[in-house]
Structure 1
Amino acid sequence: MATLEDPIEIGGCRVPNRLYRAPLLECAGNGPDTVETLIEDLEPAAASGVGLLCQGATIVRGDGGCAAPGMTRVHDPNFVSRLSRLTNRIHDHGSKIFLQLEHGGLRSMETWHAEYRREHPGLEQLAVSKPPWQLRALDRAGFLSYDPRVLDTEEVYELAANFGRAAGYAADAGYDGIHIAGANMGIVQQFLSPFYNRRDDEFGGSPEARLRFLAVVRDEIRKRAGDVPVIAKVPAETPAPPAPLVRRKLSLEDGIEIARRLERIGYDAVVPVQTSVVWDMSIVRGEYPDRAWANEALQEGYDAAFGGASRKRLVAAANRVQSLQYGPESAWNEGFCRRVRERVSIPVLAEGGIREREEMDRLLGGDAEAGACDMVGMARPFYAEPRLGARLLETESASDGESVRVLCESCNNCTVPQVTGAPGICRTPAVLRRRGELERDGAYERGAGE
């Protein structure tokens, strides 16, 4: 049975342990300070012993496609080559780093960010198909703005080539692998989902055809980056609104079948996640972020993003309702991961609400039943504790005998401000005070828990 400290291989890449930092939005952009910002964000996790770091969603094209302000673009080989300073720093600590590639499609800022739309009036939204009627209704009501260009078949192949080119640049810069953002309403999920994909060419129709985009992406990566390991998020749209609002969506069984087929296509690991067909708190389950919404310094940014104070209040109200629907839940993808692991032989990575060392051991198979996954990851807890690995690795329990638990309270005060371009940092005083106490006690030094 595996432990958190055991090494693992992903497509020939040997990762020193089974703890990974899941993709986060680093808000580094593409400016002169991008590399330093990424080093500042990512190196602490490597220094604390985390085996694998997944740099958050990076966009494969030079314009459009950003789902939030501050996303980094990786279409330019000259820019990506500068990121070798980051990969070298991560490797100095013995850790591995994968780059997550994405395009937002209908979730891009040109859809939802009012000020961005005004500043980029000629920027086209890329769509897999004509938006579903539910989203067109939101457009007519004034909540969103849809005027997409549906990709023709040749353009779909070109988009897949964008993923391949970016992967090639990343491999040259020293990245150890590629992570395809296959969920969270990005364009890959839009290809996979019957809610979005109503195409009648080879990229739509049957489940096999909807998966073809990921198959072409894998071929393009092989062509341009060789045998670099590639992992993908696998969505099941199980929290999506019920019928009659959403009748066509990816079931849990659909997600399991996608994972099985991805292994056959040549993907080296999968990350099964339960998500919705829209951007909501099924992705970041937890409490209503009252501190973030009340932050006076962010109000102007919220107004710019949502198009004024009244719309900002509507979004905040929807956020409150969703927090009741998707409250804090422990390891909410466990069941999905377990069922996928029964059907595939490649590593299964689990994330989503994992917060305790004891829980990690159980998920990896440290109890009587078979494990649900081969690696365990977290995202928001690294905003709260950048050097979190040192507290979790090589120590099964705290001095009082209780399971080591992360400080993150899943309050989401770190995530909501990102719509304004603010960095993803913990803003909860109680958590920050406790982190300071742990820092003074040396808890974030390697070997402190031995």
Structure 2
Amino acid sequence: MLPERQSTSVPVLTDPLEIGGVTLPNRLYRAPLLEHAGNGPEAVDTLIDELEPAGAAGAGLVCQGATIVRGEGGCAAPGMTRVHDPEFVADLERLTDAIHEHDGRIAIQLEHGGLRSMETWHHGFRERNPDLRQLAVSRPPRPLRLLDRLGFLDYDSHVLTTAECRELAADFGRSAAAAVDAGYDLIHLAGANMGILHQFASPFYNRRDDEFGDTARFFEAVLAEIRDRAGDVPVLTKVPAETEAPPGIGPTLSAEDCVRLCERLADAGYDAFAPVNGSAFWDMSVIRGAFPGRSWRDERFREGYVDAFGSRPRAALVAAANWVESLVYSREPAWNADLCRRVRERVDVPVLCEGGIRDGGTIDGLLGDAADAVGMARPFYAEPELPARLLREGAAADGVAAVCEDCNNCVVPQATGEPGVCRTPMVLRRAGELRRAGAYERDDRD
């Protein structure tokens, strides 16, 4: 029997939303992004600079991007922040206080890259850390082993034992507990985009014969550790469907597999889901949009690309593959909407939708149908205070939309450790015009 929702009225963006006992002041959230803040002496200040503008502009929820639960390995990109050290996490209270001063709520996204980590794909990092091995759910699948033999990737993986799976789940719990002590309102798990949680859920990666061969078991173990160590903090997670995997790759997670996984995780006690379509690989199915030719041609990043990919010819091959993927994974507005709708029909906890959402009209169409809340990510690189425009009365009717053009020039330099910022002059010019016109000034303050 399908669950019945408590309200049949259609929500609007400015309505509050309760997730696991925490009330968000509205239904617009800044989705997780790579902040490249690291763990140095300026890390917390960098995170405040990156995240506070969204809170000040009225976002109901601000999500700090993927942070790593262990002290070494597991980073999918250079400069990711680690939260294994309680002393460092305690200083993040300055960040949570900054968001709370604006009556916003903040989530921290916990992550470990597993086979997606830099020790797999980043040539320079691998050379500088020769003893660092990837954590693997099972032996890497045959297509990845082939890429290893061809020299595009470098695998020296360590397959987790049953006890090590439990210890990794405990690391998620310990990091969550420290985050709650630092004032975070929600815990967000990076359950998709080929991180370790995704790998446990995927039959393409998970061929175990112990309890963790069950696709939901690691998610359940992580939740149990968080509940044991951090109490009743709301926990939300991305949940993957591998609907965009290349032909002939399998077995993979279908959309229905994703829906069933969400049903089971709801029964286990998860408080919200962000279902996402993607591939079994780390590719442009995650972001979609145009080929970022400007960033690939920019001389400022050339040496960084060589360090990341091993040589100029290899960097050129990666760029060529990026171009092909841009043709395959063209941008579609709200590309996760159908999947979110299917999940929302089968669970009785909030469903969050993100991916290709750029305007108020699309948002209005999603709320109460495919989603209970909507998120944006890359548009915040160009417009850190974007919520001030979208939350204004009549925004949808007035055609308010993010200035982001999905050109992806913000993304590729992140492989070199560059921060995520908009680098497209036309987009920046438009954001500047809006700023001078007062578009980012909130009109709901006393």
- The TM-score range, normalised by the shorter chain, is over 0.9
Q: 1:396 & 1:274 partners in 2: Cα distance?
A: 31
Q: 2:331 & 2:70 partners in 1: Cα distance?
A: 35
Residue aligning to 1:222: 227
Structure 1 residue 327: Cα displacement: 1.2
**In the alignment, does 2:66 pair up with 1:57?**
yes
Residue aligning to 2:216: 211
Counterpart residue type for residue 308 of structure 1: S
Give the TM-score, by structure 2 length. 0.97
**Secondary structure of 2:267 counterpart:** helix
Residue aligning to 2:4: none
Residue aligning to 2:89: 80
Counterpart residue type for residue 408 of structure 1: C
Residue aligning to 1:446: 442
Residue aligning to 1:417: 413
Does the Cα contact within 8 Å between 2:389 and 2:395 map onto a contact in 1?
A: no
Residue aligning to 1:135: 144
Q: 1:341 & 1:297 partners in 2: Cα distance?
A: 45
Give deviations 1:121-175, integer Å, cap 9, x for gaps.
1111100000000000000000000110000000000000000000000000000
**In the alignment, does 2:315 pair up with 1:317?**
no
Residue aligning to 1:391: 389
1:380 counterpart (378, 381, 389):
378
**In the alignment, does 2:232 pair up with 1:236?**
no
Counterpart residue type for residue 16 of structure 1: P
Structure 1 residue 448: Cα displacement: 8.2
Give deviations 1:90-114, integer Å, cap 9, x for gaps.
0000000000000000000000000
Counterpart residue type for residue 82 of structure 1: D
Structure 1 residue 247: Cα displacement: 2.4
Counterpart residue type for residue 108 of structure 1: S
**Secondary structure of 1:302 counterpart:** helix
Does the Cα contact within 8 Å between 1:391 and 1:443 map onto a contact in 2?
A: yes
Structure 1 residue 210: Cα displacement: 1.8
Structure 1 residue 397: Cα displacement: 3.4
**Secondary structure of 2:211 counterpart:** coil
Cα RMSD, aligned residues only: 1.0
2:36 counterpart (14, 21, 27):
27
Q: 2:356 & 2:431 partners in 1: Cα distance?
A: 19
Residue aligning to 1:118: 127
Counterpart residue type for residue 199 of structure 1: R
**In the alignment, does 2:429 pair up with 1:433?**
yes
Q: 2:211 & 2:321 partners in 1: Cα distance?
A: 37
Unaligned segments of structure 1, at least 5 residues: 366-370
In the comparison of the two structures, how many residue pairs are matched? 436
Structure 1 residue 394: Cα displacement: 2.7
**In the alignment, does 2:310 pair up with 1:307?**
yes
Q: 1:253 & 1:134 partners in 2: Cα distance?
A: 24
2:107 counterpart (79, 98, 101):
98
Unaligned segments of structure 2, at least 5 residues: 1-9
Does the Cα contact within 8 Å between 2:216 and 2:261 map onto a contact in 1?
A: yes
Q: 2:400 & 2:444 partners in 1: Cα distance?
A: 13
Does the Cα contact within 8 Å between 1:358 and 1:396 map onto a contact in 2?
A: no
Give deviations 1:249-275, integer Å, cap 9, x for gaps.
000000000111110010000000001
Structure 1 residue 447: Cα displacement: 1.3
**In the alignment, does 2:257 pair up with 1:254?**
yes
Counterpart residue type for residue 281 of structure 2: V
Q: 1:448 & 1:128 partners in 2: Cα distance?
A: 49
Large movers: runs of 4+ above 4 Å: none
Structure 1 residue 197: Cα displacement: 0.2
Q: 1:57 & 1:216 partners in 2: Cα distance?
A: 19
Does the Cα contact within 8 Å between 1:64 and 1:125 map onto a contact in 2?
A: yes
1:172 counterpart (178, 181, 187):
181
Q: 2:215 & 2:55 partners in 1: Cα distance?
A: 37
Residue aligning to 1:368: none
Counterpart residue type for residue 171 of structure 2: N
Q: 1:402 & 1:73 partners in 2: Cα distance?
A: 42
Give deviations 1:359-386, integer Å, cap 9, x for gaps.
1011003xxxxx1100000000001100
Counterpart residue type for residue 218 of structure 1: L
Q: 2:444 & 2:287 partners in 1: Cα distance?
A: 30
**Secondary structure of 1:54 counterpart:** strand
Q: 2:273 & 2:131 partners in 1: Cα distance?
A: 37
Give the TM-score, by structure 1 length. 0.96
Does the Cα contact within 8 Å between 1:8 and 1:14 map onto a contact in 2?
A: yes
Q: 1:132 & 1:146 partners in 2: Cα distance?
A: 11
Q: 1:172 & 1:214 partners in 2: Cα distance?
A: 22
Identity of aligned residues (%): 64
Residue aligning to 2:204: 195
Does the Cα contact within 8 Å between 1:442 and 1:448 map onto a contact in 2?
A: no
Structure 1 residue 353: Cα displacement: 0.1
Residue aligning to 2:284: 281
Give deviations 1:264-307, integer Å, cap 9, x for gaps.
01000000000100000000010000111011000000000000
Relative distance call for 1:448 and 1:324 in structure 2 (3 A) is farther
